[in-house]
Chain A
Amino acid sequence: MGRAISITPRLLIFQRFRRGALREQALWAYIFLSGSLLGLLVFWVFPIVAAFGLSFVKWSLLSPPKWAGISNFRRLLNDPYFWNALKNTFYYVAGVMPGIAISLFLAVLLNQGLKFTTFYRTIYYLPTITMWVAIALVWKWLYSPQYGLVNWVLSLFGIHGPAWLSDPKWAMPAQIFVSWWKGAGYNMVIFLAGLQGIPQIYYEAAAIDGANWWQRFRHITLPLLTPTIYFVVVMTFIGSFGVFAQIYIMTEGGPGQATTTIMYYLYNNAFKYFDIGYADVLAIAFFVIVFIFTIIQAKLQERWVHYT
């Protein structure tokens, strides 16, 4: 036995050993990956593939699915409720975006080295931590037309506030404001991190050149912060396009259809009317729109985002 090995060339032993070790390593790697792989396969990959298949069937879950061809897609194009939901969703997204400016403004203020900075950060972050149901319920109460705090505060300034959540004109702005309120702290902290990454030396140089605060903000802070702004814009877009919980709790898509967004309409079709095929087409429409806008933003980004 010992003799047999001693006459085998050393290199060969080494290679055989190496190959065995590699195979053993690969085996272990697959074992380590197996859990994640199985999970992603069953709850990500398969559902994505299935989503495209389901869009071609008519299915109420009670009877077996029926082949429907492209009728679900045709229905989507002619469905006024879908177009209305899409319009509402864009209205909401467009309304939420300016909230980013508030976060940026707060972050710049907090970055001046003032006192109590941590205290303010803690306070502004409170709504981010709190769950949506709680926030939506509190705001529903705040928005109450007769007894709500919002209209009482407005009345101090002589303004007669509307019935926010039951007025088709005001329901969506009211929803948008709550989103500002909840999201301000989150984006602010991301901006703070970005601001702290800007080298102090630029500001010192600008101070020597006699630049005032606006010039410093406009020509140093803003350009150097563009990667962070881009990140926040994309995340806010994707997040707010899928708005659901606050709509579901505060207005249930109403009054009428005034706050019905894509996700809310999808939810109703799937889990209220059990129209699985059509709801699935809505999910695909959702995905396609988010995808297209993310690509557009990635393209536009080349023009305004400065990477140092």
Chain B
Amino acid sequence: MYANALASWRGHPFVRRFSRTLGEVMAYVILAVGAIVMVLPFVWMISTSLKEAGEVFSYPPRLIPSHLAFHNYVDAWRAAPFGRYFFNSLFVATSVTLGQLISCSLAAYAFARMNFPGKALLFTAFLSTLMIPRQITLIPSFLVLRELHWLDTYYALIVPFIASAFGTFMLRQTFMSIPRELEDAAKLDGCSRLGFLWRVMLPLSRPTLASLALFTFMGNWNSYLWPLIMTNSQKMRTLQIGLRFLVCQEGGTNWGMLMAATVVVSIPILIFYLFVQKQFVESLTFTGIGG
């Protein structure tokens, strides 16, 4: 009887609307609290970067500096060659991305559209490298690069990442979905293989190429262990390694300057992200799912 009463009470349109609104309000509150937790560290980073040394250690902490200490940015810029670090990170990530797009498209085209002895075996070999965690190849790769005298050069940061089984696999899937009739037609028109790949296949695969490019670029831009091991001179350091060495050299007490350096290092990619955030989210996730 109680259950019946409760059920009819719950079914009342007013109650239903009220509980739905209540649920929505709760959802908004939870999402807002979550958003604050996500953003606060960034806000705190920027706030600290604009504080004088004395105010950094004030208690209770103040969110808005009493006066803006922009000199922290000047100090950070002078303390380490960030221009060079930027160039290194950008040059390495761009080279890897371009190299990977070229090598992967060529290989993917061969796997998707050509017949040759050993195709199945080679493709399986390509795929099986995806099962192996990169960590196990770390030390032998270091030794290979050492033998080649490539340690502490751009080669060490770029060449090992040009070939990618993952990228090849992704592009192959896309290439296979392009109708074969197009190729026959192009051949009749006297289009060479490379010409067909360049003029037909690649333009039709633009979304996959863009995803792969962004994924590769970000992966490389954020890589830490590899450049840490493979470089040791200041002029070869990437942003990540450069910032880390600045901390060592500072002893980690000058938080105003360190946070200014952190802002400088992380802002460009964040701005880039805010402009093309839809593409970012889609490519990073769907490339993840694709693998």
Structural contact, A39 and B159, CB atoms closer than 8 A:
yes
Pair A131/B114 contact, Cβ less than 8 Å: no
In the complex, how many residue pairs between chain A and chain B have their CB atoms under 8 Å apart? 259
Interface residues of B in 23-69 (CB under 8 A from A): 23-24, 27-28, 30-31, 34-35, 37-42, 44-45, 48, 56-61
A124 and B136 alpha carbons, distance in the complex (Å): 32
B284 x A186 contact (CB < 8 A): yes
Chain B residues with CB below 8 A from A42, complex form: 144, 160
Residues of B within 8 A of A46 (CB): 140, 144
Contact with A along B259-276 (1 / 0, CB 8 A): 100100110011001100
A249 to B242, CA, bound (A): 12
With A40-B129, A125-B281, A235-B288 as contacts: A112 and B258 at CB distance below 8 Å: no
Is B135 in contact with A286, judged by CB distance below 8 angstroms?
yes
Chain B, 195-233, contact with A by CB distance < 8 Å: what is the 0/1 string?
000000000000000000000001001101100110000
Of A1-9, A87-95, A137-145, the one touching chain B: A137-145
Looking at chain A's contact residues, the main secondary structure is helix
Measured between alpha carbons, how far is A134 from B252 in the docked complex, in Å?
13
Q: How many residues of B are in contact with the other chain, CB < 8 A?
A: 92
Residues of B within 8 A of A62 (CB): none
Contacts of B126 in A (CB 8 A): 36, 40
Q: Is B277 an interface residue (CB 8 A)?
A: yes
Chain B proximity mask over A36-55: 1 for CB below 8 Å, otherwise 0: 11111011111110110010
Known: A25-B116, A35-B107. A44 touches B27 (CB 8 A): no
A138, B141: Cβ atoms closer than 8 Å: no
Q: Contacts A110-B31, A126-B39 known; A290 to B139 CB distance under 8 Å?
A: no
Contact yes or no, A142 B41, CB < 8 A:
yes
Report A-chain residues with C-beta under 8 Å of the C-beta of B137: 43-44, 47-48, 51
Beyond A131-B221, A133-B243, A138-B44, whether A123 also contacts B35 by CB under 8 A is: yes
Interchain CB contact under 8 A, B129 and A283? no
Q: How many of chain A's residues touch chain B, expressed as a range?
A: 35 or more
Q: Which residue of B lies closest to A180 (CB)?
A: B37
Interface residue B80 (Cβ < 8 Å from any Cβ of A): no
Binary per-residue interface labels of chain B (141-177) against chain A in the complex, 1 for a CB within 8 Å, 0 otherwise: 1111010000000000001101111001000000000
Q: How far is the CA of A74 from the CA of B41 in the complex (A)?
A: 45
Q: Are A287 and B133 in contact (CB under 8 A)?
A: yes
B27, A114: Cβ atoms under 8 Å? Answer: yes
| A128 located at the interface, meaning its Cβ lies under 8 Å from any Cβ of chain B in the complex | yes
Say if the beta carbon of A279 comes within 8 Å of chain B. yes
Contacts of A263 in B (CB 8 A): 135, 225
Q: Does B74 contact A (CB under 8 A)?
A: no
Could you mark each residue 72-108 of chain B with 1 if its beta carbon is under 8 Å from any beta carbon of chain A, else 0? 0000000000000000000000000000001110110
Judged by a CB distance under 8 angstroms, whether A129 is at the interface is yes
Q: Which residue of A lies closest to B281 (CB)?
A: A189
Q: B99: shortest Cβ distance to chain A, in Å? A: 9
3 residue pairs, one from A and one from B, having the closest CB atoms:
A39-B163, A47-B140, A47-B137
Interface residues of chain B, those whose CB is within 8 Å of chain A, are 23-24, 27-28, 30-31, 34-35, 37-42, 44-45, 48, 56-61, 102-104, 106-107, 109-111, 114-117, 119, 122, 125-126, 129, 132-133, 135-144, 146, 159-160, 162-165, 168, 193, 218, 221-222, 224-225, 228-229, 239-240, 243-244, 247, 252, 255, 258-259, 262, 265-266, 269-270, 273-274, 277, 280-281, 284-286, 288-289
